[in-house]
């Protein structure tokens, strides 16, 4: 018996089919949206791109809007457990029967257009937002920017959170080339909010904004990266400063993301009060549905799940994990556990140095367990371990049971970080759900 979601779920995706699933341009996404009656014309949109931080920043913007009473759609990718995670409304998944009905209604359209999975999922997200009468849709760019399917939209503002070396086979092998691709989501006479960018990338952004006539906003240009984060922080935009904020995501990088999110809200002069900002940032997951961003899935021992999958993101995640252990008084006295897996096109060798250097600097020991990843871009646990070992790490592989590894760590009282792959994060979240029943 076929699954009612099959016409969508069986479309070729970048994760499962690799680069062959990517067909740059807007012909297919436009055909889908036209066939659905242009659902994207019924609400206002903010596009959020960048190498790292775009999912967190998009979720913070959505959370602030929801906390202020706006009906808000949030499209992010990839999903972890349920495809409906890509189409959240005020932090909640749509009813599964809605998606099943919509797929059945548009099955012929999908067959005629033959889109990628990303294009199909994006179209159904936008259709879902229209059907549920959202005021705003916050849409995360999938890959790059200029030719990403989400760039078919006409945003009121665009956000570029960060620029790093990722997807170099598709976007270019320099920061300048990658920045130029991501700058493609800028619009004339519309605001573009930049996060903390390397100088090489920032120059490209400034030049492109000037060429297009975009309204450039750089809220972090005069802000030093904090060395430590107190329980309460202050955020500042061009319009205001808000104190006594309790940020529910840890790490200095998340303070940057929150600053960018607030700057975006204020660039659009949206009526979002200081109180709404505080409430939203104190419960980002509750207001937006965000998962696996330094998410604690077990308290004692501490088990953290994060979807960090490139050196820049992993550095921030490992740093935050070590800080959490040190703050709990269980720093150098314990051996931590890292469950790690990554795709073949990720820079596992550099991530090995990130892991090794962070734990050496903290005078902590870590057991690294490597797991395989699937699909056309997948990589065996042995290949991942070999790349990590260049740094001096001695990874363990051969036991591919995430559940068993986490349960063993719990029995030993060993704190764990799960990172490197959305697939691995999904398995850890499924384990959390299982033990909660």
Domain boundaries along the sequence of the chain: 6-288, 295-436
Q: Which residues of 155-192 are buried (b: 16+ CB within 10 A; e: fewer)?
A: bbbbbbbbbbbbbeebbbeebeebbbbbbbbbbeebbb
What does the pLDDT look like over 180-236, one tens digit per residue? Answer: 999 999 999 999 999 999 999 999 999 999 999 999 999 998 655 443 444 689 999
Residue 345, pLDDT above cutoff 70: yes
Crossing angle of the two packed helices 54-67 and 274-282, in degrees rounded to 10: 130
pLDDT recorded at residue 227: 39
Does 6-288 match 295-436 in CATH topology? no
50 burial via Cβ count (<10 Å: 0-12, 13-18, 19+): buried
The CA distance from 19 to 22, in Å, is 5
Q: Within the chain, what is the greatest distance between any pair of CA atoms?
A: 60
| DSSP sequence for 311-374 | HHHHHHHHHHHHHHHHHTT-STTSEEEEEE---TTS-HHHHHHHHHHHHHHTT-EEEEEE----
Q: What does the pLDDT average to over 415-428?
A: 95
Average pLDDT taken over every residue of the chain: 93
pLDDT recorded at residue 228: 40
Class of the 6-288 domain? alpha beta
Question: Whose structure tokens read 């006295």?
Answer: 333
The H-or-E segment that residue 75 falls in is strand 72-75
Q: What does the pLDDT average to over 126-153?
A: 96
CA neighbor of 127 nearest in space, from 57, 58, 59, 34: 34
Read off the tokens for 343. 């795709």
More confident residue, 50 or 436: 50
- Per-residue confidence band for 1, with pLDDT thresholds at 50, 70 and 90: low
- Per-residue confidence band for 241, with pLDDT thresholds at 50, 70 and 90: very high
Output the CA–CA distances (angstroms, integers) from residue 18 to 7, 15, 52, 369, 377, in the order listed. Answer: 19, 6, 20, 25, 6
pLDDT recorded at residue 19: 65
- Per-residue confidence band for 353, with pLDDT thresholds at 50, 70 and 90: very high
295-436 adopts what CATH topology?
3.90.190
Q: What does the pLDDT average to over 257-275?
A: 98
> Which parts of 113-232 are beta strand (E)?
136-140, 157-160, 191-194, 215-217
What does the pLDDT look like over 11-70, one tens digit per residue? Answer: 988 666 666 667 778 999 999 999 999 999 999 999 999 999 999 999 999 999 999 999
pLDDT recorded at residue 167: 77
């Amino acid at each position: 018996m076929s699954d009612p979601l099959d016409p969508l779920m069986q479309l070729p995706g970048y994760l499962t089919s690799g680069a062959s699933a990517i067909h740059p341009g807007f012909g297919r996404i436009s055909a889908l949206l036209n066939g659905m009656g242009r659902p994207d014309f019924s609400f206002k949109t903010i596009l959020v791109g960048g190498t790292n931080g775009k999912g967190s920043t998009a979720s913070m913007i959505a959370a602030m809007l929801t906390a202020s009473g706006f009906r808000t759609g949030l499209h992010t990718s990839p999903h972890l457990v349920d495809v409906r995670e890509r189409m959240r409304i005020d932090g909640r998944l749509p009813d599964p029967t809605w998606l099943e009905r919509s797929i059945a209604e548009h099955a012929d359209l999908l067959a005629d257009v033959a889109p990628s999975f990303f294009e199909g999922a994006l179209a159904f997200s936008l259709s879902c937002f229209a059907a549920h009468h959202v005021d705003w849709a916050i849409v995360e760019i999938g890959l790059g920017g200029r030719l990403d399917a989400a760039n078919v939209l006409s945003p009121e503002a665009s956000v570029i959170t960060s620029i790093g070396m990722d997807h170099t086979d598709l976007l270019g092998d320099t920061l300048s080339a990658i920045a130029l691709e991501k700058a493609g989501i800028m619009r004339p006479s519309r605001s573009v909010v930049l996060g903390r960018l390397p100088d090489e990338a920032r120059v490209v952004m400034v030049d492109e904004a000037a060429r297009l006539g975009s309204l450039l906003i750089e809220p972090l240009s005069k802000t030093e990266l904090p060395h430590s984060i107190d329980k309460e922080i202050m955020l500042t935009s061009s319009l205001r400063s808000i104190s006594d904020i309790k940020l529910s995501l840890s790490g200095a990088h998340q303070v940057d993301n929150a600053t960018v999110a607030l700057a975006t809200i204020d660039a659009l002069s949206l009526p979002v009060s200081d109180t709404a900002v505080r409430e939203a940032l104190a419960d980002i997951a509750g207001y937006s549905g965000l998962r696996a961003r330094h998410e604690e899935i077990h308290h004692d021992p501490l088990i953290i799940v994060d979807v960090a999958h490139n050196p820049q993101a992993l550095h921030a995640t490992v740093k935050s994990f070590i800080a959490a252990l040190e703050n709990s008084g269980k720093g150098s006295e314990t051996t931590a556990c890292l469950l790690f897996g990554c795709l073949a096109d990720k820079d596992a060798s550099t991530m090995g140095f990130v892991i090794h250097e962070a734990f050496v600097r903290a005078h902590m020991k870590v057991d690294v367990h490597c797991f395989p990843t699937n699909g056309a871009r997948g990589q065996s646990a042995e290949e991942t371990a070999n790349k990590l070992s260049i740094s001096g790490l001695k990874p363990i592989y051969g036991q591919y049971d995430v559940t068993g590894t986490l349960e063993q760590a719990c029995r030993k009282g060993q704190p764990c970080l799960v990172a490197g792959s959305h697939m691995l994060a999904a398995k850890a979240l499924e384990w959390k759900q299982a033990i909660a029943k």
